[in-house]
Amino acid sequence: MTTMTQTSARFREFKMPDVGEGLTEAEILKWFVQPGDTVTDGQVVCEVETAKAAVELPIPFDGVVHELRFSEGTTVDVGQVIITVDVAPGSDEEAPVPAPVQEPVEAAAPAPEEPKGRTPVLVGYGVAESSTKRRPRKGAAAPEAAAVAAAVQAELNGHGAPAAPEAPVDAPPVGRPLAKPPVRKLAKDLGIDLATVVPTGKDGIITREDVHAAAAPAAAGAVAPSAPAPSASEPVVTEAPAVTASARETRIPVKGVRKAIAQAMVGSAFTAPHVTEFVTVDVTRTMKLVAELKEDKEMAGVRVNPLLIIAKALLVAIKRNPEVNAAWDEANQEIVQKHYVNLGIAAATPRGLIVPNIKDAHDKTLPQLAAALGELVSTARDGKTSPAAMAGGTVTITNVGVFGVDTGTPILNPGESAILAVGAIKLQPWVHKGKVKPRQVTTLALSFDHRLVDGELGSKVLADVAAILEQPKRLITWA
């Protein structure tokens, strides 16, 4: 979806589009252009991260960049103008005064009277009210409630909220503290409430030095008995937040893919009654088949691995037990039987776990399935998976074996009926033809929605997958 408006014959605005699946906001990760740069129709101007994926946005017209409305790291609502372009550079029409860089993260206090002259900001200059109207967010807290919550959280953090200093004569009205986006991010990383920071910048703006100054006593106070215990483990992030050497905690904003994962997993775990069954199986013949397929000229150019055969085995098991491929419609109190399989593959990426799916996987031949798997994995690792590629899944495979894990109890991807976890394939002693021999063995775990799948049906699906992996010739006899 391309969204743009025309403010005049010369200057055109490009709004944050809905990149898919009805998403309402996106974070600007990176700008590829700056004011004064020449752009052409279709040129990528920025990269944004939605709750599902990172997406590059192309500009739909030619011209010269006049203004960037938001800085990197800012979350922007769909429909807000993010860039204006001069489509007729050199004409006599007067250029509009650039609007200030905006940060639409929370409801702001009433804006003070526009000052005389123009004040430097992150991108462009001048302080002017934007004509863009924001859509109300669900659950947006009032400024007073947010301030109270921040003060309580500060107290829990062990550094409390110091008494507010006397406001200078020219201080802005009491409300949201003034700070640029990078400074706000730094404050969040350090766990500092901006309302407790004394600003030293021009016009009451909080600077990075102000935040570091506020963090110093907080870190010193962390040794008090009331201080919380250090976190057992900290999430890995692409860009490590700035912290002092004595800091005992690191606060990482929950947003983007991580926020979506949290919401989806909590919703799934407390909505669908999960049941997980396990089976340990000898996959020696499957591993021999994988080795043979790697030498097959029909499979040239595609990646052949055990996951490919496991995926095909699951598709055959679903064909033999089609009732497992369904969804629960709570609103209409119906079970929706799916006559197609969009096979999800859980993929770990630098931004978190995502589950893109192979559309109509049930119709694909083995070489086609291998090619689709390879493309899905490489796209996910590059962070280029689109929201559409993650929509409409029916069942999922998660390969925890790549981490050396034997098995697990996977949580269903919301809206799906089952998820198969594949453990590590290891050489183990196994009774084969009446004798104990070293065989390649793995453990499979199938979680399913017990509203849709009874124990008998779930057991049949898992047993069929195991039987195929033990005797891969069943891919032919059962297909």
**Which residues does the annotation mark as catalytic?**
450
- Of 143, 58, 147, give the one whose Cα is nearest residue 109: 143
Q: Write b or e for each residue in 40-54: b if 16 or more Cβ atoms lie within 10 A of its Cβ, otherwise e.
A: eeeeebbbbbbbbbb
| Cα 251 to Cα 265: distance, rounded to the nearest angstrom | 21
Q: Residue 72 has which token pair?
A: 């990197």
| Cα 48 to Cα 72: distance, rounded to the nearest angstrom | 9
Q: Residues 260, 52: contact at Cβ < 8 Å? A: yes
Q: Dump the DSSP string for 244-288.
A: -TT---------HHHHHHHHHHHHHHTTS-EEEEEEEEE-HHHHH
DSSP single-letter state for residue 125? B
**Long-range CB contacts (within 8 A, 24+) of 283-292:** 283/425, 283/440, 283/441, 283/442, 283/469, 283/470, 284/439, 284/440, 285/470, 285/471, 285/472, 286/469, 286/470, 286/472, 287/425, 287/440, 289/472
| Cα 88 to Cα 83: distance, rounded to the nearest angstrom | 16
For the sheet containing 75-77, what is the strand order?
A: 54-58, 44-49, 25-31, 75-77
- Of 446, 449, 448, give the one whose Cα is nearest residue 462: 446
Q: Residues 196, 130: contact at Cβ < 8 Å? A: no
| Cα 410 to Cα 421: distance, rounded to the nearest angstrom | 6
DSSP H/E element including 63: strand 63-68
**Long-range CB contacts (within 8 A, 24+) of 56-61:** 57/17, 57/19, 59/14, 59/83, 59/85, 60/2, 60/4, 60/14, 61/4, 61/12, 61/85, 61/87
β partners of residue 345: 397
How many Å separate Cα 211 from the centre of its chain? Answer: 28
DSSP H/E element including 470: helix 455-470
Q: Residues 396, 66: contact at Cβ < 8 Å? A: no
Sign for the CA dihedral angle at 320, 373, 336, 352 comes to positive
